Structure 1
Amino acid sequence: MKMHSQCGRNSAGPRESQRVLDRDEVLGRRDRLMQQTPSAKRSAALTTIRAQLRSIDWRVSRG
């Protein structure tokens, strides 16, 4: 039997509960980003936003 200190080793462990993203919130963040000057940081943030929107669309279409 594993000791308490060994639980979760060699694994990611229990996931934290994540807040559900709201489409309007994500689109608002995208609008604010689009007002900034182009940069690598902005491109990375827009890529993340696109992935979040895909995730929201997938969740909505699944029911």
Structure 2
Amino acid sequence: MSDQVKVNPTPIQRNINDVAMELTELYYSASNGSEYTVEKIQQTYRKFYATAELMTSTPSEELKKI
């Protein structure tokens, strides 16, 4: 029996929430900071979430046409 264990790496899997959070963080890290209200951040997150959801439900052939 070998003393070494071989493990295959698994790819990082991100879900729609992860994408929306990262896009929201990126958006606000690039802004000047005057728009940081809870309501504005929630609205921005919802828009990015909806966009990510739309992209996952749209066939890739349709996305290539855009």
TM tier relative to shorter chain? 0.3 to 0.5
TM-score relative to the length of structure 2 = 0.38
TM-score, scaled to structure 1: 0.39
Q: Which has the higher contact order (CA 8 A, sep 6+)?
A: 2
